[in-house]
Copies of this chain bind each other. A is one copy, B any other.
């Protein structure tokens, strides 16, 4: 039984593996555990940042299990929430997390939060203050629907997809390849994909241009899990590993050293356009993954996305099943 779903690092690979098995059993129709756990329950979702895939898959999950999902858009045209302590609230924020979080906890059985990285200060993003604030204050299980540092719902869905496509994942080759974009993006998805592959015992290559390193905290954690489970982690500054990979996971992210300097980052992104994933990057049995949304012919070539080796739609579907498993385990506490 889980208290909250915030970070892969709060769990062990073996506990995550059990959760994955539950997701797979729900998907195959082998259990009704989710309906028993979630019927009549209420999920409150708080979006500090826009979302549609996450929102739709959570709403579909709760609906399928006989529960209710409520979506709140914070900082749209409605209230803004102050998350810092000791601030005199005479500005744009009409409400403080110290009131908002416990109140939402009274209305719902779970509170899910989306809050992107600020991408101004890598150390601050790494502390994941908003989602951890909700965890402390809400009084109910809190679900990370993508925070500054992690997107563990996506990570679990990714792992489920790899297990379905590869069967045994231990020792299989996983390449997380940086891809170009028109703007710098957060590192939450690559961090979670990395942790999922580590928990799955895969031989991991992280391929990115110089200066685009992920948060060392996650590299270290992934290496530790890999050592324990039987995989490996290495970092390369080229995409050579892609062709022999079982999985190529394409994803763009911004360089921490450019945080706060959008112009320099943007110029550099343009210069890195040839990191785009094409069919030529893929071996005959390589599966191509991406968390979506993906910009065609910018991050990934259109013909790679239209190729049968591309499994992004299965991957997106698995958000639904992974999240049903997460909600079921959180309800069980």
Q: Are the C-beta atoms of A59 and B53 separated by less than 8 Å?
A: no
Q: Of B63, B74, B85, B107, which one neighbours A68 at CB under 8 angstroms?
A: B63
Chain B residues with CB below 8 A from A94, complex form? 293, 295
Chain B residues with CB below 8 A from A320, complex form? 106-107
Alpha-carbon distance between A159 and B294 when the two chains are bound, in angstroms: 43
Alpha-carbon distance between A56 and B67 when the two chains are bound, in angstroms: 15
Chain B residues with CB below 8 A from A42, complex form? 60, 63-64
A160 to chain B, nearest CB (A): 13
Number of copies: 3
Chain B residues with CB below 8 A from A62, complex form? 68
Q: Say if the beta carbon of A263 comes within 8 Å of chain B.
A: no
Alpha-carbon distance between A288 and B52 when the two chains are bound, in angstroms: 39
A–B Cβ pairs within 8 angstroms, 18 of them: A52-B72, A53-B103, A55-B72, A59-B70, A60-B70, A62-B68, A63-B68, A82-B296, A85-B302, A87-B297, A89-B295, A89-B296, A94-B293, A95-B292, A99-B293, A103-B313, A103-B316, A106-B317
Q: Say if the beta carbon of A57 comes within 8 Å of chain B.
A: yes
Q: Say if the beta carbon of A14 comes within 8 Å of chain B.
A: no
Given A50-B79, A68-B63, A88 and B313 touching (CB < 8 A)?
no
Q: How many residues of A contact B (CB 8 A)?
A: 60
Chain B residues with CB below 8 A from A106, complex form? 313, 316-317, 320
Q: Say if the beta carbon of A298 comes within 8 Å of chain B.
A: yes
Residue-by-residue, is A58-98 near B (CB-CB < 8 Å gives 1, otherwise 0)?
01101110111010101011110010011111100011101
Q: Are the C-beta atoms of A86 and B52 separated by less than 8 Å?
A: no
Q: Say if the beta carbon of A44 comes within 8 Å of chain B.
A: yes
Alpha-carbon distance between A63 and B59 when the two chains are bound, in angstroms: 13
